[in-house]
Amino acid sequence: MDDLNQNPKLGSADRPNSYIGRSVPRERAKKLLEGKGKYVDDILLPRMVHLSYVRSPLAHAKIKSINTENAKNIPGVLDVFTIDDIEKVCSPWQGVLGHLGEMRSPTQYPLAKDVVRWQGEPVAVVVANKRAVAEDASELVEIDYEDLDAQLDMETAMDKSTKVIHDDLGNNLFWTRTVNQGDVSEAFKQSHIVEEVTLDFARHTGVTLETRAIVADWDSSEERMTVYHNGQAPHMMQSIIAKHLNITEGLVRIISCDVGGSFGIKVHVYPDEMVTVAVSKLLKRPVKFVADRLESYSTDIHSRCHKISGKIGVDDKGKILGFEIDDLSGIGPFSVYPRTSAIETNQVLNLSAASYVVPNYKAKGTVVFQNKTPMCQYRAVGHPIAVAITEALVDKAANALGMDRYKFRKINLIPDNSYPTKTPSGVPLEDLSHEACIEKLKKMMNISELEKYKKESLAKGKYKGFSIINMVEVTNPSPAFYGVGGAPISSQDGASIRLEGSGAVHISTSITEQGQGTEAVMQQIAADQLGVKIDTVRVTHGDTDATPYGGGTWASRGAGIGGEAVLKASRKLKENILNIASVIMQSEVNNLDVQNDQVIRKDGGEGISLKDLAQIVYYRGHELPPGTNAELIATASFSIEGIPFVFTNSAMGCLVDVDVDTGLTKIEKFWAVEDCGTQINPKLVEEQIRGGVVQGIGGALYEECIYDEMGNLTNGNMADYLVPMAYEMPDIIVDHVTTNSGRSILGAKGAGEAGTGGAPGAIMNAINDALIPLNTEVTSQPITPEKVLKALGKI
Amino acid sequence: MSNLNKTTISMIINNENYDDLTVETRQHLGDFLRDLGFKGTHLGCEQGACGACNVLVDGETVRSCLMLAVQANGKKITTVEGLNSSEMEIVKDCFVKNNAMQCGFCSSGMLMTTYEIIKSKRKHSREEIREMISGNYCRCTGYQAIVDAVEDSLNKINVGM
C-alpha cells in the first residue's frame, strides 16, 4: 500500500480524527477521580486469606531460633511459615546480569535464611482470616537473634576492618566499572583551569501513594496461578513466578489493574510478593498482601545513595578538555532481582557530561553492600547524580573563568547539527537539540531580568540565585538494557487491534498504565491512524492472558515503543479495511479512505460505515466474493534496534530564594524545555515533566531515608520522611522543542524521567548561585536548612 | 482475637441508612467503610499524613484512618461515592479537563478537600489554594494541575454570586 496516499500525516491537526498532538482528556480520568478505579487492595475473592510479615528488627543478625507456636494458636490464624516451608515451593534467586562485567551478589531467599541483613527483611509470615488478626499474631512469633556488626557506611565498606556481609564473597564489593576515553590526565595538564567538587546524595525512595500489593490465587485443579499485582511489567512477573514457583509459564496469569503510582518502585521482584504467591500455592486458596506504610519505607527499593567526586578541565576560551568522575554507591545487602542494583551507577557513568563535547573522559563506579534496605532503579535512574555533578562542575568552570554560565554552555554543548554522535562515555546519541532547548529556555527565563532581580534583591539583603542546566534522558531502551544480560524482560512490545461487529475498535497492548495516560495515548494513536472517533476505541492492558507479549511501562518506553506498535497495527488494520471496502464498494483502494468511522470515497459518492463493513464481514460473509481476505484484526510489534536507548534532551532552570537566617530555600520559579520528539498528548507530556520535576525537587530538598548508627530506619513514616507538598512547590513553566526520533514512524521519545533527573542539579546550582556573595556552597542533597546554615558557618 | 470488644453502630452513609452494624471497637472508619464496599476511600499511610482517606463526617473533612468507626456512630458520612452535588460535578469536570490526577489514588481525598474549599464560597489565590490542599499528598502531578483545577472550579462556581 502506498504509505503517502493512505496513511495520515502525523500532526496535521486540520484533518478529521487527527488526535496525535492534541491534548485529549483521558477517558478514564473521571472514573479514577471518583474513586472507582480498581486497585489490588479492592479485590475480594472467596476464601481469601491475609498475610502479615514478621520482619527483622535488626540490621544484621544470626537467626538462632524461631518459635511460631503461640502465633499459630491465635483464633483465625491458619498457619505461620518460615523459609523452611517456603523454600519447598519457591526457589531462591540471584540479582546478577551477564552483560556488564562481573556482578557478585549472593543467592537471596524469599524469607531470611539463618541471617537477617537489613531491618525490614521478612523472616516469617502469618496467614490469617483477617489482616488485623495476622498482625496480632505476628507479634507473638518469637525469634531469637544474635547480633552481628552492621556494615552501614558505604565509604568504609571496603576497609579491612569492616564486617563482610556475605562471607563467601570475601569483601563487600558488588560491582565496579571504569570508562576511559582519551587521556584525561593529559587534558587536565593542558587545562587553563581545573575545578573539582564532591557531592553527596542521600538514600531516598519513591513513596507511591498506593503501597505495593498483591493477590495470588492458586487453582490447584488447573494448576493455574492468577496474580493480581500492582506492577509495571506483567510478563516479567509471569516469567519469574513461573520459574521460581515451578509452574508452567503459560499457566501463570498476571493482572495489573489500576496502579496507584509506581515510579520504578513497582518493577522489581520483592521477597514478600514471591512469598505471597508461594503461600497461595501451599494453601491452595487466594492470598492477599498489602504493604503498610512502614513496610513501604523499609522494603520498597531505595535509590540514590551516592558520593561522587568530579573534576573538569577547560582551556582559556572555556572549551572543556577533560572530565573525570569517581562514584561510590551503597545498595543494601543484595543486588535486586532481576534488574540488578548496578544500573544506577552504570547510568551515572554513561550520562555524566553527556550533553557536552568532551574529548577526554574518565569515570569509575564502585558499588558496595550495606546492611540497609536494598537499592535499585527508581525514576530517572542515575540521572540526578550525573546531571548534578556535570552541571555543578560546568558552573564552577564558568564562574572560575568569569564567563557567563549560558555562554559557557553554548560553547560546549554538542551542536544540534552534529548527530549522530556519542556521549563522552561512548554511548550513541542521535536526534537531540541542546542548542535549540537552551535558546528557548533563555528566552523563557529572561536571564538579563533575572540578573537584575538578583542584584536588586542582594542590595536588600535577599539572596536569590538561578540556574540553567542541560541534560540527556534515557528512554525507549533496546535489548541492551536487560535482555542481553539474561533477564526475562522484553524490549519488544506488541499491539493487537480489531474492528468489532458494533463498529468499535479494540486495542490490546503490552504496555501498562500507572496513571501516565497510556490508555489515552494508545486510543489517540489508533483513532488517528484508523480515521475513527476516539470514543470508538477501547483499550485492554495489564493482563498477560489478554494482551500481546511485551515489556510493560518503565524507562519511559510506553509511548515510544508501545505506541509505535499500536501505530503499525492500526495501519495494517486500515489496509485490511480498505481492501475489504474496495470489494464491497467496487472501488479502487486508492480512492478510499476512513474518516469519522466511515469508509469514504475520495471522489465523493456514497461510503460505508465501519459498522456496516464489520457486520458484512462477521455476520454476512457470504456477501463477499469467495477468497476475500476479510481479517479485521491486525497485530504488530516494535522494539528499538541499532542503538541502546533513544535519548531525549532537556534544558531546565530555576530561581530560588535562600533565607540565610533560617537556611530555608524557596523555589520561586522553575522552567523546563523538553524535546521528547512527537508529543502524542502535549498535556500528558507536560504533566510528566511537572510531576517529574517535583519528585526531583523532593530529592534535592527534602527526602532522605535516615538510619541511626545501629542500622535502624528512623523516619519510616509519612510525617517524618518529607516529600514535596503543594504549598512549597512552584508553578512549573514547560515548553518544547520537537526533534522526532528517527527510529520510528511515530517519532516519539519518552518524557517521564527528565524532570526527576534534572531538577536536583538545577536546584543545587541555583542555591549555590545565591550563595556566591557569601563565598560558600552546598554539596549534599537533600539541601536541608541545617546544611545551608552549616555552609554559612551559622551552626 | 476472640475477646476483642465489638459494638453495634448505625450511621448514614451517602444518604443511606446503615443500621445495627457490628464492628470491632479498634477498627478505624477507613477500614470500616472499605469493608462496607466504599472502595473510593483509599488508605495511603494510616497515620493521618497523606489525606487519601478523607471523608466528610457531618459535613467536615476527617481523616478516616484517624477516627474509629465507633466514633462515627450516629453520624452522617459522605465518601467520594457520595460527592454528587451539581457543584462537585463542576469540580470533577475541572479536574478532568486539567488532568488533575494521574494514578487517581489521592483523588478522593483531594476532592474532599476541594469540597471544603468551594464550600467557603470565596475566591482564593493560587497560593491560598496551595496552602489549602497541602494536607493532601499527590506523588504524580506535582500539584500544579490540581491547583489549576481548583482555581477553575472556584471561577465557575462563583460566577454569578
Tell which of A638, A668, A697 closes a domain: A638
Which of A638, A672, A702 finishes a domain?
Answer: A638
Same domain, A132 and A108: yes
Tens-place pLDDT, residues A492-521: 999 999 999 999 999 999 999 999 999 999
Q: Say if A211 falls within a structural domain.
A: yes
Task: Give the distance, in angstroms, between the CA of residue A521 and the centroid of all CA atoms in the same chain.
Answer: 18
pLDDT tens-digit series, residues A270-284: 999 999 999 999 999
Report the pLDDT averaged over residues A732-749. 97
Residue of B nearest to A296 (CA): B45
Question: Is residue B2 very low, low, confident or very high in pLDDT (cuts 50, 70, 90)?
Answer: very low
Amino acid occupying residue A708: D
Quote the pLDDT of residue A635.
Answer: 98
**Co-location of B90 and B148 in the same domain:** yes
Nearest CA-CA distance, residue A148 and chain B, Å: 32
- Helix A563-585 and helix A518-530, axial crossing angle in degrees, nearest 10: 30
Pairing mode, strands A213-219 and A224-229: antiparallel
Indicate whether A442 and A415 sit together in one domain: yes
| CB of A680 less than 8 A from some CB of B | no
> DSSP states of A710-738 as a string?
TS-BS--STTTS----GGGPPPEEEEE--
What CATH number did the domain enclosing A609 receive?
Answer: 3.30.365.10
Contact with chain A for residue B80, Cβ under 8 A = yes
Distance CA A625, CA A622 (A): 7
pLDDT at A257: 87
Residue B22 and residue B46 in one domain: yes
**What residues of chain A lie within 8 A of the CB of B84, using their CB?**
none
Which pLDDT tens digit goes with each residue over A171-213?
Answer: 999 999 999 999 999 999 999 999 999 999 999 999 999 999 9
Decide if A740 is inside a domain.
Answer: yes
Q: Are A261 and A122 found together in one domain? A: yes
Flag whether B1 is in a domain.
Answer: no
Output the domain CATH number for residue B106.
Answer: 1.10.150.120
State the total domains in chain B: 2
Structure confidence at residue A11 (pLDDT) = 65
Q: Which of B82, B117, B147 is the last residue of a domain?
A: B82
Domain end marker among A615, A638, A661: A638
- B residues 21-50 near A, CB within 8 Å? 24, 26-27, 34, 39-47, 49-50
Q: Do A723 and B41 count as a contact with CB atoms less than 8 A apart?
A: no
Q: Could you report the per-residue pLDDT of A225-248, keeping only the tens digit for each?
A: 999 999 999 999 999 999 999 999
**What local confidence, expressed as pLDDT, does residue A1 receive?**
38
CB contact under 8 A, B139 and A36: no
Is the residue at A318 inside a domain?
A: no
Question: What is the predicted pLDDT for the residue at A480?
Answer: 87
Which range of residues forms the domain containing residue A467? 382-476+645-791
Q: Taking CB atoms and an 8 Å limit, are A718 and B95 in contact across chains?
A: no
Averaged pLDDT, B107-133: 95
Structural domain contains residue B111: yes
The verdict on A135 and A262 lying in the same domain is: yes
Residue B161 above 60 pLDDT? Answer: no
Name which of B77, B140, B148, B150 to mutate to probe chain A: the one with the most chain A Cβ atoms within 10 A of its Cβ: B140
Chain B residue nearest residue A752, CA to CA: B140
What is the DSSP pairing of strand A193-205 with strand A302-314? antiparallel
Determine the distance in angstroms separating the CA of A49 from the nearest CA of chain B, rounded to an integer: 15
Answer whether residue B132 shows pLDDT above 50.
Answer: yes
> Which residue shows C-alpha cell 528488627?
A57
Per the CB < 8 Å rule, is A725 touching B137? Answer: yes
Q: A31 and A57 in one domain?
A: no
Q: Report A:505-534 residues touching B (Cβ under 8 A).
A: 514-517
Q: Which three cell numbers stand for residue A287?
A: 492470598
Q: How far apart are CA B77 and CA A367, in angstroms?
A: 52
The C-alpha cell that represents A318 in the structure block: 572555556
Tell me the mean pLDDT in the region A33-55: 97
Other beta carbons within 10 angstroms of residue B6's beta carbon come to: 13
CATH number for the domain that contains residue A92: 3.90.1170.50
pLDDT band for position A3 (cuts 50, 70, 90): very low
Same domain, B140 and B101: yes
My answer on whether A242 and A96 are in the same domain is yes
CA distance A306 to chain B (A): 23
Identity at A542, one-letter amino acid code: G
What does the pLDDT look like over A452-508, one tens digit per residue?
Answer: 999 999 999 999 999 999 999 999 999 988 999 999 999 999 999 999 999 999 999
Residues B141 and B116 in one domain: yes
Q: Is residue B35 part of a domain?
A: yes
Which residue do the cell numbers 538579563 mark? Answer: A448
**Same domain (yes/no): A634, A652:** no
* Spatial separation of the C-alpha atoms in residues A624 and B148, rounded to whole Å: 54
Identify whether residues A101 and A139 lie together within a single domain.
yes
> Are B12 and B44 contained in the same domain?
yes
Whether B119 has its CB under 8 Å from any CB of chain A: the answer is: no
pLDDT of residue B120: 85
A718 vs B50: CB contact, 8 Å cut-off?
A: yes
Do A632 and A660 sit in the same domain of this protein?
Answer: no
- The answer on pLDDT for B3 being more than 90 is no
Residues B51 and B94 both lie in one domain: no
In a domain, B64, yes or no: yes
ipTM over 0.95: yes
Residues B90 and B75 occupy one common structural domain? no
CATH code of the domain containing B63: 3.10.20.30
B75 with B90, same domain: the answer is no
Q: Is A292 on the interface with B (CB under 8 A)?
A: yes
User: How much is the average pLDDT of A126-137?
Assistant: 98
Classify residue A178: in a domain, yes or no: no
Looking at residue A7, its pLDDT comes to: 72
Q: pLDDT-derived band of residue A2, with 50, 70 and 90 as boundaries? A: very low
pLDDT in tens, B33-75: 999 999 999 999 999 999 999 999 999 999 999 999 999 999 9
Is B73 in the same domain as B109? Answer: no
A733: contact with B, CB 8 A cutoff? no
Positions of E strands within chain B? 6-13, 16-24, 54-57, 60-63, 76-78
Q: Which of A540, A536, A539 has the alpha carbon at shortest distance from A611? A: A536
**Virtual torsion, Cα A381, A100, A741, A1, nearest 10 deg:** -130
Whether residue B145 lies within 8 A of chain A, CB to CB, comes out as yes
**Strand ranges across the sheet with A360-368:** A173-181, A360-368, A320-330, A302-314, A193-205, A780-781
Residues B124, B108 within the same domain: yes
Of A31, A211, A694, the CB nearest to B143: A694
Q: Verify whether the Cβ–Cβ distance A35 to B147 is below 8 Å.
A: no
Q: Do the domain assignments include residue B141?
A: yes
- Alpha carbon distance A375, B113 (integer Å): 35
Q: Where are the beta strands (DSSP E) in A603-703?
A: 608-609, 633-638, 646-658, 665-675
Q: A726 and B42: CB-CB below 8 Å?
A: no
Is A458 found in the same domain as A386?
A: yes
Domain boundary among B54, B82, B110: B82
CA–CA gap between residue A250 and residue A338 (Å, rounded) = 20
> B75 is in which domain, residue-wise?
6-82
Mean of per-residue pLDDT scores for chain A: 96
* Beta carbons of A34 and B40 less than 8 Å apart: yes
pLDDT digits 0-9 by tens, A666-697: 999 999 999 999 999 999 999 999 999 999 99
Please count the structural domains in chain A.
3
Q: Which residue of B has its CA nearest to A259?
A: B103
Helix or strand run (H / E) with residue A395: helix A383-401
Are residues B92 and B72 located together in one domain of the fold?
Answer: no
Asked if B51 and B100 sit in the same domain, the reply is no
Q: What's the mean pLDDT in B4-32?
A: 96
Separation between Cα atoms, residue B39 and residue A43, nearest integer Å: 10
Across the interface, of A25, A37, A41, the residue whose CB is closest to B104 is A37
Regarding whether A732 and A649 lie in a shared domain, the answer is yes
- Chain B CB within 8 Å of residue A14 CB: no
A514 contacts in chain B (CB < 8 Å): 102-103
Angle between helices A234-245 and A271-283 (to 10 degrees): 60
Dmax over CA atoms of chain A, in Å, equals 89
Is there a contact between B2 and A75 if contact means CB atoms under 8 Å apart?
Answer: yes
What's phi and psi for A302, nearest 5 deg?
A: -95, 170
Tens-place pLDDT, residues A135-174: 999 999 999 999 999 999 999 999 999 999 999 999 999 9
User: Is A717's Cβ below 8 Å from some Cβ in B?
Assistant: yes
Q: Which of A33, A196, A527 is nearest to B108 (CA)?
A: A33
A595 and A729 inside one domain? no
- Rounded CA separation A180/A635 (Å): 44
Q: How far is A431 from chain B (nearest CA, A)?
A: 28
Q: Which of B82, B110, B137 finishes a domain? A: B82
